[in-house]
Amino acid sequence: MHPFDESLFRNVPLWAAFFCWCTAQGLKIAIDVVRRGKLDLQRFSATGGMPSAHSATVCGLATSTGLCTGFDSAAFALAAVFALITMFDASTVRYAAGQQARILNEIIEELRKDRKIRPVKLKELLGHTRVEVLAGMTLGIALSAALTAWWTSPAA
C-alpha cells in the first residue's frame, strides 16, 4: 500500500484543519483590504493579525478529531493539548516578541538618524492579541464542525 493512497484524502481532521487555516488566512487578506484599502496577497502566508490562523488550525484539528474519534479518545486529548499550547504561545510569547521587535525598530530608527547605520527592520507582527486568538478559535471550531458533519454524512 502506497503511503499517499486515497486514505490520505479521507483524513477528515487533516483536511478540516487545512481548510480552517486557508479560511483564516483569506480572512486576514479581506480584513486588510477593508482596513488599509489595498490588497496584499503576502498576508496569506504571514503570521499575526485577525483572526489567528494558528488558533483556527489547531482548534479545527481538535474539533474534527473529537468528532471523528470521540472526545474521550487519546487522539482528541493530544489535539486539544496541542491547541491550548499553541494558542497560549501565540498570545503570550510570540505577542511579546512582536512588541519587543517594535521597540527595537524604534531604537534602530533613532540611532540611524544620528549615525550612518543600515537599519534592519524586524518583523513586528508575530503573535496575536487574545481577541485574535479567540476569533481564530471560534472560526476553527465552527468551520471544522460544519466540515466534519458534511464530510462524514452518508450523502457526502
32-80: pLDDT as tens digits:
888 888 887 776 677 777 888 999 999 999 999 999 999 999 999 999 9
Task: Report pLDDT for 128.
Answer: 67
Phi/psi of residue 11, nearest 5 degrees: -80, 90
Q: Could you tell me if residue 70 is inside a domain? A: yes
Q: Could you tell me if residue 22 is inside a domain? A: yes
Q: Could you tell me if residue 71 is inside a domain? A: yes
- pTM for this entry: 0.78
Task: Report pLDDT for 19.
Answer: 97
Q: Could you tell me if residue 51 is inside a domain? A: yes
Average pLDDT, the chain: 83
Domain count across the chain:
1
Task: Report pLDDT for 122.
Answer: 53
Domain that holds residue 128: 6-149
Top mean pLDDT of 39-53, 82-96, 136-150 is at 136-150
